[in-house]
Structure 1
Amino acid sequence: MSKILGFEFWNTVARTILRNRILILVLITACTVFLALQWKNMRFSYTEANLLPDDDPINLQYQEFLNKFGEEGNVIVMAVNDTALFTPRNFTAWNELADSLINFQEVEFTVALGNLKKLEKFEDPGRFEMVPFIKEANPNDQQVKEYREKLFQDLPFYEGLVYSRHSNTVQTAVYLDQEIVNTGQRKTFVVEELIPLVEKFKEEYGLNVYVSGMPYIRTLNSQNIIDEIGLFIGAALLVTSLIFFFFFRSVRATVISMITVVIGVMWAFGVLGLLHYEITVLTAIIPPLIIVIGIPNCIFFINKYQQEIQKHGNQAKSLQRVITKVGNATLMTNLTTASGFATFILTESTLLKEFGIVASINIIAIFILSLLIIPIIYSYMNVPREKHLKHLNKRWIGGFVNWMERMVKHHRIAIFIISLILLVSSIIGIYTIKVSGSLLEDMPQEAAFFKDIKFFEEEFDGVMPLEIVIDTKREQGVMKLPTLKKMEELQELIAEEDELSPPLSIVNLVKYAKQAYYNGNPKYYQLPTSQERTFILPYAKGLDASGDNLLTSFVDSTGRYARMTSFMKDIGTQEMEEIEEDLWPKIREIFPEDRFSIEMTGKALIFQKGTNYLVKNLVISLSLAIFLIAVIMAWMFRSFKMILVSLIPNLLPLLVTAGMMGFLGVPIKPSTILVFSIAFGISVDDTIHFLAKYRQELKANNWKVKRSVYAALRETGVSMFYTSIVLFFGFSVFMISSFGGTVALGGLVSATLLFAMLSNLLLLPALLLSLQKEIANKDVLREPTINIIPQEEDSEEISEEEDPKM
């Protein structure tokens, strides 16, 4: 009954499509126009991906920090490491460059040599004031030399902020308005104003200027993502169309396929706009992904149409059979692929959830487009001529199928031994996989801005802020001398870590206050004693009155919370965890938990914690994908044993890929985590096609296993080979990316799908032949709930009188 209902359903679908061609084309056009109008709502991400759930305690801590101290990633730094800077002409030009930036509304203030202020003591009344470091508008050669000596020798407070402790590098810190730092206005300023100014300065004065800082990195990184979307789409269309044409040797078949996937891409962008999702490094790969996944649909539909034309030459009958016989199987394979992506919807990460929603919706959409567009366009065209059908009889394809048949027939033991060796080797490799949560690792390493990042890591020990918040649990507790001494001890502890820069906090300012009290003598750059505190701190209380906001940069308005800022190098999750394991026991010893509360936060740290979150959820996500697909297989085949047999050839490629990652040193990170669910969802498609045909052959051949296996292999092997090659080269397109994560994603998915093809064409048939007594019987292979590949039935087909072309 279920088989009849299935056939009748698809027969009805075929009739509906072929009898309402114009209406369907109008509807597709209307949907495409509507979704194209949604493109205006697409937004590009202007901040790092937040992989943690919004209500995660680490996220909440970060939000509390922002509420107290404001945006931490709003500084762009420009540096010059050249003694030629300290000539009157260049020195003045460098200062004027910093002054010109203050005139932009996006810039809140700058800290540069030209506007640098030093702390001085004044009497009557006793007070500290910030006075200009450079007094002359155009200092001469001797004055520039003196300023250089004073900067590097007399102002330890500005070490790491204005100059490097490693060399004579001088930097300017540009603080952006916190309101625009995570908006498109930041991009406009960086790309259209800052970069041209810096390039003009470099050209005019011959000085190499290094630029970095989180706003700058974010801007150029997001611009790279935008640039690569077009590159990926173009490359995916080119590669898949060339492969498609190579297989079919038909221009019109290739053009029809390209039209289908291009509309699919337009829909993908439209869905992003309709849902108001940001385009991130993940969602940016969805449009080319739709091309790669959509082309195999076109292959199945067009290949079946041409086979039917070759068989009987009746176009109306061929078009109906395309829909009734391929529609069901293609729907199931697209559903399993969508299921692999849909598992990300169940994670708590907004980034992955949005990726899963858009990807799964568009995979189903590209199936619908293929089902509608291909038969309709062919219905308006002439019947394919003999030259369009030549590819169906290619000798080399027949040779490939014969090779597979020989391997399965005569070398099953070798297939099992090789599979076992791969399994054992993969397990060994899996134990060597590392986890990486580096915020910068996946960025384009050949880009100029990435090389600048490495420069700042060498000179200033990093550009990614790591914030430490100290809660003294009482108002004005920060300025107590015992608290300041504890903070100084913590700063010395952090400075010992090679991967972290010496921190900046209220301790540095109090030290500077003592130095200023003793007339700027640098040997007094230290915390005051108990006796000194009584007459130095009253001087410091008026610092904020000068408008420099020095105190509020480090301490909140209540005096209860202190902020300590360090900078991290580009380190991974494991290295940061080791640093934390080393620091936390010492921190708790310095700051007893009953009197103080200490928190570490910052964007880079959140990204690393988010990577750990994803790794913990990887097993859950993949297990869910396997479970969903097993349910689909159970629904189709109604056999537990068949589920096990079908999963083995699809799990082995995943293990092989994981083992490769271990041996090749490719870490588990947000980009590579996606590989397993994506590859599993796609590779199981071949299994469905093969097992559906196998069961059909069993029934037709009176349950003779060998004959059925070889017949299924010959019937499905060509299509599986075609689609696997398209998928392999399609995903390989991502390897042209400048983003390390996208390269790894493309390479790993391609390799996994290649392994999966061989596994489904060799290991699966070998298992069926070896376990024929256990599974090849009517009790195990009961009548399926749905018939994936209908029998050759012509009931209720469109007659020539009803042919839509007649």
Structure 2
Amino acid sequence: MKKLLGIGFWEIIARIILRNRLGFIFGIVLLTVVLAMQWKHIRFSNTEANLIPATDQVNLDYNQFLKVFGEEGNVIVIGSKDPKLFTPKVFEAYTTLMANLAKDPEIGLVLSLENLKILRKNDSLAQFELAPFVNKTQLKDEAYLKQARAELTQRLPFYEGLLYSKDKSTLRSVVYMKKELVNTKARKDYILGRFSDKINQFEQATGVDLRVSGMPYIRSYNSKTITDEIGLFIGAALLITSLIFFFFFRSFRATLISMIIVIIGVMWSFGIMGAMGYEITVLTALVPTLMIVIGIPNCIFFINKYHQEYYKHANKAKALQRVITKTGTATLMTNITTAVGFATFIATNNVLLQEFGVLTTINIIAVYVLSLLLIPIFFSYIPAPIPRHLGHLEREYLTGFFVWIVNTVKYNRLSVYMVSIILLIFGIIGIYEIKISGSIIEDMPKKTAFFEDIRFFEKEFDGVMPLEIMIDTKRKNGALRATNLRRLEELEKTLTDIPDLSKPLSIVSVAKYAKQAYYNGNPDYFQLPTAQEEPFIATYIKNTAKGKNENLFKSYLSDDKSIARITTFIKDETGEKMPGIEQQIRQKTDKLFPKERYNVVITGRASVFQKGTNYLLDNLLSSLLFAFFLTGGLVAIMFRSFKMVLVAIIPNLLPLLMTAGLMGFLGIPLKPSTLLVFGIAFGMSVDDTLRFLAQYRLELSRNDWKIKKSVFATFDDAGISMFYTSIVLFFGFSVFMLSGFGGTVALGGLVAITLCFGMLSNLVLLPSLVLSLNKTLANEQEFIEPTIDILEHTDEELDALEEKKN
């Protein structure tokens, strides 16, 4: 059978590259300029990651809620426990702050103590009126301010959980952004600009520490942190990989061309992102740095091969040509397997992961092409390597390391298998300890001020992440019927009894407040009207709705008053309890609101995110299995041997199981960031496997199919590149541990550890398996005429081909 991508093909490629050097340089420069022009189209994400497909019922329910009640994430809260807030000078500054915020065009409403309106009964008009809570002429009287605070917390239970905490120690203001701006760039510009400036000015003038939170605020500062870290990652990755590269090769020129290649790769990644219209999210922000981490190993492999070839015959032109001719298919296939690891995310049916998979896959191949073109061209223009540049091939620390590996494989294979089995058992046991996290804020930067504020409000107000319950009575005005209000009140009691939830807000609270107002504000009457009271209070409410006062029910009822809404907040740290909490709520709603008469939807950002994590877990597990089968298929095509598929998969499966076990024992939960580890690490670890097997196949043909001699000869060639690239990948992914995001730290650390395990597995377990199975794997018939010619060709084969052509 005629081989695909065989020696003749790569000889043509080598000739084209080396004979058209200026043309390729011009083409790369031109393409870089074109892609740089696409940077202007790069946009930053203004929403959280939605991990569930748009057609899924969870998303349909959430979108229905938004359609009825509008955007839920438009609330900013400003709070403080500082008693100085109720001194005249500070309170005056605070009043001015709230007034200035209310004037901003981005703000729809500010609800605060100084502008608070309370319900009062007007018997002459038989309606309720909104009257000012405080007397603004007395705001300079400290005694009056303290009295107003006491009256708020003691006589207005309606505002508990909204304007003051359960223990009455913390007061806050609620700022409502205009809903149409919440998911736009204008929200981020406003929060990071004028809004934050006004808060900072108040704090500097008064010395009072204000706590600020709410979804618009959290999302804006979270997005800013992501943007700031892009430059940090790129700079750190360039620095650490260049230092490691120079340490290995001791050549400024080799280090320079490698840095040029990965910098161009970074520029291309931004250009491709802009050209495809993708937003910068917490995942796509990693792509430029990944191009550095993945690109440097390509450079190492090509340059190391060039040095090896030149070391043999001291012919620069011949060495450059044979870098391409001898390793073209092998390097292509290893890059394809890396791309496959990332491409599995495309099959997850999730837009966020699909975009990440598409970008990384395209850019991995692009960086490979850059390395293939620029390294031979660059070295063709500069002087040949000097002995100092070639010294890395015989360094004592490296040779000592490989002597230990060779001795282990040669004399202690039983120990290798025993250790592997122990680690396998360790991984399996640890897997059962892994928990699934549904936390939205767990991966947010914990050392930032806005994260500390999140924890403050979670402690004081029992949560910041909204959980919404929507009850459709299927009848106009049905939500206001007395029987349904009683059912809603009973459901609220269930919610109050759940310790992980805050005090619920609904039409029930409004109805209770209306009764309290009817009885002249007496807090003892903060309860639902009785059957006898309903006609009188209903008349007042009806007359109020006809007047100019705001509709009291707007936030808690649909326009036709057929759908009621209950809002509560959940502590984000209890995200893993969400399924149990929802089940508890569902049991109560099924009892109170029979399905044949009512439609109950439990939704909200906290619920959607937690369900999205479970959905992502199912999808990534299936995509990882797909990666196994796809990689196995590539190995089968390349070697035409099912046994070789098993030998290739086992050493790469073990590190994944070890990492999963480590996560379980260390308490690292499965979440969107840590779930990515396995696909990424598998795709990159398989590279070493293919390089080892390709070199092993070559050594078999060189050594008359003598297994032991061929295996140990493989270490002399492929082993060095495998070691170098693994070290670079380890430190390269460790760069992500500089992040403030817990998820990015976990991703970087876990991938680095997995790749380290993978290197040892491929250098120790893989050759041990080959030696133990040598009677079947050494069968020459299984290696004859592979479909894809991944094998590195011998000097004799290439010399014979050249003589034939000459």
Q: State the alpha-carbon separation in 2 of the partners of residues 212 and 457 from structure 1.
A: 10
Which residue in 1 is equivalent to 2:434?
433
Q: 1:50 to 1:103 in 2, by over 3 A?
A: same
Q: CA deviation at 1:3?
A: 4.5
5 Å matches for 1:152-191? 152-191=153-192
Q: State the alpha-carbon separation in 2 of the partners of residues 301 and 2 from structure 1.
A: 27
Deviations 1:379-432 (A, max 9, x none): 111112222222222122111111111010011111010001000111111111
Q: State the alpha-carbon separation in 1 of the partners of residues 700 and 379 from structure 2.
A: 33
Q: What SS does the aligned partner of 2:181 have?
A: coil
Which residue in 1 is equivalent to 2:798?
794
Q: 1:87 to 1:223 in 2, by over 3 A?
A: same
Query: Structure 2: which 5+ runs fail to align?
Result: none
Native 8 Å contact 2:129 2:549 kept in 1 = no
Native 8 Å contact 2:5 2:789 kept in 1 = no
5 Å matches for 1:430-579? 430-544=431-545, 545-579=547-581
Native 8 Å contact 1:331 1:367 kept in 2 = yes
Q: State the alpha-carbon separation in 2 of the partners of residues 548 and 237 from structure 1.
A: 59
Deviations 1:70-95 (A, max 9, x none): 10000110001122222222222222
5 Å matches for 1:34-45? 34-45=34-45
Deviations 1:433-487 (A, max 9, x none): 0000100000011111111111101111111111111101111101001101111
Which residue in 1 is equivalent to 2:590?
588
CA RMSD of aligned residues (A): 1.5
Q: 1:238 to 1:477 in 2, by over 3 A?
A: same
Counterpart selection for 2:711 from 698, 709, 712: 709
Native 8 Å contact 2:106 2:178 kept in 1 = yes
Q: 1:5 to 1:66 in 2, by over 3 A?
A: closer
Q: State the alpha-carbon separation in 1 of the partners of residues 455 and 291 from structure 2.
A: 36
Q: What SS does the aligned partner of 1:108 have?
A: strand
Q: State the alpha-carbon separation in 2 of the partners of residues 552 and 4 from structure 1.
A: 69
Q: CA deviation at 1:652?
A: 0.4
Native 8 Å contact 1:300 1:326 kept in 2 = no
Which residue in 2 is equivalent to 1:607?
609
Which residue in 1 is equivalent to 2:253?
252
Amino acid at match of 2:514: A
Q: State the alpha-carbon separation in 2 of the partners of residues 5 and 267 from structure 1.
A: 27
The reply on whether 1:372 has 2:376 as its aligned counterpart is no
Which residue in 1 is equivalent to 2:11?
11
Q: 1:4 to 1:500 in 2, by over 3 A?
A: closer
Q: CA deviation at 1:798?
A: 8.8
Q: State the alpha-carbon separation in 2 of the partners of residues 40 and 542 from structure 1.
A: 55
Counterpart selection for 1:636 from 638, 641, 646: 638
Which residue in 2 is equivalent to 1:213?
214
Native 8 Å contact 2:639 2:782 kept in 1 = no
Q: What SS does the aligned partner of 2:470 have?
A: strand
Amino acid at match of 1:794: L
Native 8 Å contact 1:641 1:780 kept in 2 = no
Q: State the alpha-carbon separation in 1 of the partners of residues 413 and 169 from structure 2.
A: 69
Q: CA deviation at 1:167?
A: 3.0
Q: What SS does the aligned partner of 2:783 have?
A: coil
Which residue in 2 is equivalent to 1:60?
60
Deviations 1:713-760 (A, max 9, x none): 222111100000000010011111110000100111001000110001
Native 8 Å contact 2:516 2:527 kept in 1 = yes
Q: State the alpha-carbon separation in 2 of the partners of residues 685 and 344 from structure 1.
A: 18
Q: State the alpha-carbon separation in 1 of the partners of residues 656 and 5 from structure 2.
A: 36
Which residue in 1 is equivalent to 2:26?
26
Q: CA deviation at 1:124?
A: 2.7
Q: State the alpha-carbon separation in 2 of the partners of residues 751 and 166 from structure 1.
A: 46
Say how many residue pairs are matched.
800
Deviations 1:324-367 (A, max 9, x none): 12221111100000001101111111111111000100000000
Q: State the alpha-carbon separation in 2 of the partners of residues 155 and 167 from structure 1.
A: 12
Native 8 Å contact 1:129 1:546 kept in 2 = no
Native 8 Å contact 1:70 1:178 kept in 2 = yes
Q: CA deviation at 1:791?
A: 2.5
Amino acid at match of 1:786: I
Which residue in 1 is equivalent to 2:622?
620
Q: CA deviation at 1:538?
A: 1.8
Q: State the alpha-carbon separation in 2 of the partners of residues 566 and 397 from structure 1.
A: 61
- With the length of structure 1 as denominator, give the TM-score of the two structures: 0.97
The reply on whether 1:736 has 2:734 as its aligned counterpart is no
Q: What SS does the aligned partner of 1:442 have?
A: coil
Q: What SS does the aligned partner of 2:601 have?
A: strand
Q: What SS does the aligned partner of 2:596 have?
A: coil
Q: What SS does the aligned partner of 1:129 have?
A: strand
Q: CA deviation at 1:549?
A: 3.6
The reply on whether 1:71 has 2:75 as its aligned counterpart is no
Amino acid at match of 2:206: Y
Q: State the alpha-carbon separation in 1 of the partners of residues 468 and 549 from structure 2.
A: 24
The reply on whether 1:342 has 2:343 as its aligned counterpart is yes
Which residue in 2 is equivalent to 1:776?
778
Amino acid at match of 2:384: V
Q: State the alpha-carbon separation in 2 of the partners of residues 481 and 674 from structure 1.
A: 51
Native 8 Å contact 2:126 2:543 kept in 1 = no
The reply on whether 1:265 has 2:266 as its aligned counterpart is yes
Native 8 Å contact 2:344 2:626 kept in 1 = yes
Native 8 Å contact 1:435 1:572 kept in 2 = no
Q: State the alpha-carbon separation in 2 of the partners of residues 182 and 574 from structure 1.
A: 27
Which residue in 2 is equivalent to 1:293?
294
Which residue in 1 is equivalent to 2:316?
315
Native 8 Å contact 1:77 1:211 kept in 2 = yes
- With the length of structure 2 as denominator, give the TM-score of the two structures: 0.97
Which residue in 1 is equivalent to 2:406?
405
Amino acid at match of 1:647: I
Q: State the alpha-carbon separation in 2 of the partners of residues 5 and 121 from structure 1.
A: 87
Amino acid at match of 2:477: Q
Native 8 Å contact 2:438 2:578 kept in 1 = no
Q: 1:436 to 1:519 in 2, by over 3 A?
A: same
Q: Determine what percentage of the aligned residue pairs are the same residue.
A: 56
Q: State the alpha-carbon separation in 2 of the partners of residues 128 and 297 from structure 1.
A: 75
Q: What SS does the aligned partner of 1:554 have?
A: coil
Q: State the alpha-carbon separation in 2 of the partners of residues 402 and 283 from structure 1.
A: 41
Amino acid at match of 1:153: Q
Counterpart selection for 2:692 from 690, 693, 697: 690
Q: CA deviation at 1:519?
A: 0.5
Q: What SS does the aligned partner of 1:794 have?
A: helix
Q: State the alpha-carbon separation in 2 of the partners of residues 327 and 785 from structure 1.
A: 15
5 Å matches for 1:122-137? 122-137=122-137
Which residue in 2 is equivalent to 1:720?
722
Q: State the alpha-carbon separation in 2 of the partners of residues 569 and 605 from structure 1.
A: 12
Which residue in 2 is equivalent to 1:48?
48
Q: State the alpha-carbon separation in 2 of the partners of residues 550 and 441 from structure 1.
A: 36
Native 8 Å contact 1:51 1:611 kept in 2 = yes
Which residue in 2 is equivalent to 1:351?
352
Amino acid at match of 1:557: D
Which residue in 1 is equivalent to 2:671?
669
Q: State the alpha-carbon separation in 2 of the partners of residues 592 and 403 from structure 1.
A: 71
Native 8 Å contact 1:693 1:716 kept in 2 = yes
Native 8 Å contact 2:651 2:765 kept in 1 = yes
The reply on whether 1:754 has 2:756 as its aligned counterpart is yes
Query: Structure 1: which 5+ runs fail to align?
Result: none
Q: State the alpha-carbon separation in 2 of the partners of residues 459 and 572 from structure 1.
A: 16
Which residue in 2 is equivalent to 1:306?
307
Q: 1:401 to 1:483 in 2, by over 3 A?
A: same
Q: State the alpha-carbon separation in 1 of the partners of residues 129 and 176 from structure 2.
A: 22
